[in-house]
């Protein structure tokens, strides 16, 4: 190869290098910071772009997508002088690539230090309980403070999250004991409420049962009284319909005398005030029976064939004696005496 060929080869290689350094393809969501001879020239946006070779230089490639940074746990002291370890997660985007490159040397380190100081400032004004229960409030205050401080760096903090808050071991043990006691208290309250409710339901059930039993007994008594009233009315109506005579009434009275005399406890006879009138009525009835004996056939009852015990025999004898006395009174053979014979033994 002669000198001309070598020269053409060198020119071709130089042309390729110049072409390569002159064309830049910027990806989507990226910006390139271009410097010309050490001075900021422009910002390349996505797409193919041309540069002046050996004069323009790419200072920095800036990613415009939202980025997530996880900072290591930071020791923070609360308002009640308790040390906790807080792990934070930061979400941010670059809105001004030139400020992010030229306003600060390392914006990630700056954001980390700013997050630490702001977190200590916010959490230092809260006690431990408030810190554990106010994550949303802490996140909002951190996001607002960081967004305001990083605006001059061309950054926008979209969100800050407290991923974990680790109190000391002794505090965790005390909190676990407190939560266990609270759960036991709630369980005891629920158990007491359940027992109370069960007792109330049992009492209400017993009350309703007693009320229903009382109503049932009342209805039964009412029905029984109605039945007895209807039975008495029926008997009364039947008696009036049959129109009993004095003979029948006298005979029924004589049949009742032995029943009154039955029993060991029946030692005293109750003598009504109208006994004289009753005996007179019986006498009249028996007198009528005597007068009508001529027209009617006399019926005698043979009691010898009946086997009676001692009490029944005595009662029958007393009844027959009373009947004879009443018959004598009715015929005028014996004066009326208001005293009754003694009751049979």
70 pLDDT above the threshold of 60: yes
pLDDT, tens digit, for every residue of 190-220? 999 999 999 999 999 999 999 999 999 999 8
Lowest mean pLDDT among 4-13, 74-83, 324-333: 324-333
How far is it, in rounded angstroms, from Cα 89 to Cα 191?
Answer: 44
pLDDT at 164: 85
308 pLDDT above the threshold of 70: no
**Residue 88 CB contacts under 8 Å (≥ 6 apart), including other chains:** 70, 71, 74, 115, 119, 142, 160, 161, 162, 163
For range 341-345, the mean pLDDT: 44
**Domain range list for the chain:** 3-63, 67-167, 178-242, 246-295+306-331
Report pTM. 0.49
258 pLDDT above the threshold of 80: no
Closest CA to 145 of 167, 121, 181: 121
169 pLDDT above the threshold of 70: yes
Higher pLDDT, 170 or 125: 125
pLDDT at 326: 54
Distances (CA, A) of 189 to 184, 201, 202: 9, 18, 20
pLDDT at 327: 57
Decide: 99 and 106 in contact? Cβ < 8 Å: no
**Hey, is 99 helix, strand or coil?**
helix
pLDDT at 16: 85
**Residue 5 CB contacts under 8 Å (≥ 6 apart), including other chains:** none
For range 269-285, the mean pLDDT: 52
For range 320-338, the mean pLDDT: 56
Beta strands in the chain (DSSP E): 23-26, 30-36, 39-44, 47-50, 56-63, 67-70, 74-77, 83-94, 155-166
pLDDT at 149: 87
pLDDT at 232: 81
The pLDDT mean for the chain works out to 77
pLDDT at 72: 87
pLDDT at 339: 44
How far is it, in rounded angstroms, from Cα 165 to Cα 310?
Answer: 109
Closest CA to 160 of 73, 89, 71: 89
31 pLDDT above the threshold of 80: yes
Lowest mean pLDDT among 8-17, 31-40, 66-75, 247-256: 247-256
pLDDT grade for 315, boundaries at 50, 70 and 90: low
Beta bridge partners of 159: 91
At the second CATH level, the architecture of 67-167 is 2-Layer Sandwich (3.30)
288 pLDDT above the threshold of 70: no
Q: How large is the C-alpha radius of gyration of the chain?
A: 64
């Amino acid at each position: 190869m002669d000198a001309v060929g070598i020269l053409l080869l060198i020119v071709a290689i130089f042309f390729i290098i110049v072409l390569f350094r002159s064309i830049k393809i910027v990806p989507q969501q990226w910006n390139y910071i271009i410097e010309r001879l050490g001075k900021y020239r422009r910002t390349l946006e996505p797409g193919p772009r041309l540069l002046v070779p050996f004069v323009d230089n790419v200072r920095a490639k800036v990613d415009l997508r939202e980025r997530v940074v996880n900072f290591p746990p930071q020791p923070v002291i609360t308002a009640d002088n308790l040390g906790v370890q807080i792990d934070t997660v930061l979400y941010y985007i670059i809105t001004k690539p030139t400020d992010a490159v030229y306003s600060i040397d390392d914006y990630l380190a700056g954001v980390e230090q700013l997050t630490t100081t702001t977190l200590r400032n916010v959490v230092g004004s809260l006690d431990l309980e408030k810190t554990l229960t106010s994550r949303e409030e802490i996140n909002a205050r951190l996001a607002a403070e960081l967004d305001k401080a990083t605006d001059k760096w061309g950054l926008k903090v979209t969100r800050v999250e407290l991923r974990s808050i680790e109190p000391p071991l002794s505090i965790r043990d005390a909190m676990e004991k407190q939560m266990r006691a609270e759960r036991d208290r709630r369980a005891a309250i629920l158990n007491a409420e359940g027992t109370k409710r069960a007792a109330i339901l049992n009492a209400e059930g017993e009350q309703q049962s007693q009320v229903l039993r009382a109503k049932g007994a009342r209805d039964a008594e009412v029905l029984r009284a109605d039945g007895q009233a209807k039975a008495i009315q029926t008997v009364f109506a039947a008696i009036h319909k049959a129109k009993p005579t004095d003979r029948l009434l006298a005979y029924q009275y004589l049949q009742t005398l032995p029943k009154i005399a039955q029993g060991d406890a029946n030692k005293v006879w109750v003598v009504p005030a109208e006994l004289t009138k009753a005996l007179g009525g019986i006498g009249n009835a028996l007198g009528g029976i005597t007068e009508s004996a001529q027209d009617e056939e006399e019926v005698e009852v043979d009691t010898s064939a009946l086997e009676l015990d001692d009490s029944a025999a005595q009662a029958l004898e007393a009844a027959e004696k009373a009947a004879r006395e009443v018959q004598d009174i009715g015929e005028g053979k014996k004066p009326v005496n208001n005293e009754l014979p003694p009751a049979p033994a």
